[in-house]
Structure 1
Amino acid sequence: MVLEKRSAHWDIFCAVVDNYGDIGVTWRLAKQLAAEYQIEVNLWVDDLFSFQHILPDLDPNLSLQRYVGVNIYQWKQPLEAKYRPGHVVIEAFACELPNEVKQSLNEQHQLAPSQVPIWLNLEYLSAESWVDGCHALPSLQSTGLKKHFYFPGFTQKSGGLICESSLIEQRESWQANPQNRFKLFDSLGLKGIETGHQVISLFSYENSVLLSLCQYLQQNSRPTHILVPKGRSLTSLQSLFPAPVEELAAGDRIQQGSLTIHILPMTDQQAYDQLLWSCDFNIVRGEDSFLRAQWAAKPFIWHIYPQDEDYHLVKLAAFLERYTEKLPPMLKVLIDALNTNFNQELTSETIRNWHELQDLTPLLLQHAQNWPNDALNGSDLAERLVHFVKNG
């Protein structure tokens, strides 16, 4: 058996489960490691067609391509490209490593244990208290290999949160010039949005509350624009459209009363960040857009992915407890209620919460602007990850 010398690159494996969430997180991490730490990153993805929605230039038929310093491999079984052992191998969100990779790790462990890549399982983000105690714990495999579980989180004892080093500064610069948002709206083909209008981005799962919220906004005195890409959110609004959701196209605009719904084109991650920065309120889902809404420093609702026995509500409550910790009691109660009622699809309660929050918008906005510094705790996920590998 000939042992191939380990190189300095990192491998990240991503199995796309929820269309954009898993690949959204791993793509951001891969880009940041390459740009800020000059790490050669190989990103292995099993669904390049979903990936293409957030990286429009990607060719889903190519087995290897390179963008912004990251090598993107099409992950097939078996692998089309030969696996070269690197310094680190990351399985994102408990995806199962390919057999070729596990075999290579075992061979390295038998012949040269010091050359075995550092093996990490990048877990889902959670604000639950147990995360601190589980972060970075090793797990001894039956083959004798060691795998560490890396938990992103909101405390200094956790793995941190994905946030590029210049992101907050970029967002502040963008929001300082009101013309930036209107230039973005023009580039997306959004018409009729004026100063003083309320703008809401919508990227959620199906939810019966959405229809009632839209009906409420139709009767509001303030003109409101909801910006929504084709996808699961639109299914809940079908009764508002003159045609089936499948026939709607980017650029379509549906106006009823004071409400205008704009169908968005899919955008890359930078444009999506800018969209969140430009809206007055963001309704987001999953993990990637949830975190980007926090960095946008705007009020938001988190539509968390439903789990068995309503465990997602436990995760939601843990985040809300941390997010609202410094708020006045009345505002804390309202934010808790708005997010919880929305996720439980309690329509009348959600609309009442939304109405009550309108008079507290300045306080809510100020908190959203202060929150990123509290959440980051001095360092982001990539920085902590590189430090862990260096000292591991």
Structure 2
Amino acid sequence: MEQRARVTNSFQIGLTGGLGVLTAIIIGAAISQTATILTYIGIALFLALGLDPVVRSLTKRKVPRPLAVGVVVTGFLGAVALILWAIIPTAVREAAKLIEQIPDIATSLVTTDLIARWDSQLGGAITTATNSGLDFIGNSANWPVLLGGVLQVGIGVISGVVGVVVVVILTLYFMASLEGMKDYLAKLSSASKRERFRKITDQIAYSVGRWVMGQTSVSLVHATSLFIFLTIINAPFALLLTLLAFTISLIPLIGPLSSAIIVITVTLIEGPQLALIAVIYYLIYLQLEAYLIAPRVMKKAVSIPAALVVIAALMGGTLMGVLGAVIAIPVAASILLIVREVWMPRQQLR
């Protein structure tokens, strides 16, 4: 009898464990299938949190919240429309021009003194690889493969436009219902802890919102100064590089360095002198951003250790690319704030 009970108990444990593993696999597959939608939701939520401090500043000036949301939403939509109208056509033209000049760019890079020295040290490997790539592009038999890539790019562009529209709509909904969402989350906690829970929720929303707005402002300063610099030195693809730099620099620490590498590489096309000027510019700007711009802009946002920023950005980037890296940092900031406000006080009481 006792042996049968042990067998039954072991079977129940095995069955429960198997069901748990199966459930985890199903949940993982569901998350994988809906990764794009979850990314849109995450971006929209953080945009709403980033715009919420503006709404709060208007409500402090006795503006009713619905009217404040309407004003911010109108400004947000106007800014998006202005960006699409003013920047996208030029960026598309520059991107097309860049694609057309890829063979010339590859040839000019290979013939620079530095690359030529590396090529001679490697026994002509760089020249061979470049010529092979250009021959592949020039061979008409390979055009169907290239055309398939172009079609994929076109589909990606359409998906990107649809994604922007979805994110904008979700952002508007989140902004309008942000306070209601906080109230609903507070009701999920026990009545004795509801006030504390709502306070922590407000702190997270405020700090993350300040972080999103602050980091966007830092990226905007970076992009604006870079566009002025590239225009002054008459660098190629100034607007395209500016848009790329703005997007990448939304990731602290890693983003500005990555954009610096890209800009310096592109300016190397025009010659080592222009690339040297770009290096000097970034050496000066990165110091200004690290010690002057970012501390002033981010002083009201939640403080995140540099190591945590890098780890969060790498993990988010591995899971969901650049957007994942951007979203991962506010998520890490939220977790850090919860640890400071909930877990650490409890440990102090023990």
TM over 0.5, shorter chain: no
Scaled by the length of structure 1, what TM-score is found? 0.21
Which structure shows the higher strand fraction? Answer: 1
Structure with the greater alpha carbon radius of gyration: 2
Q: Which is bigger in relative contact order (C-alpha 8 A, separation at least 6)? A: 2
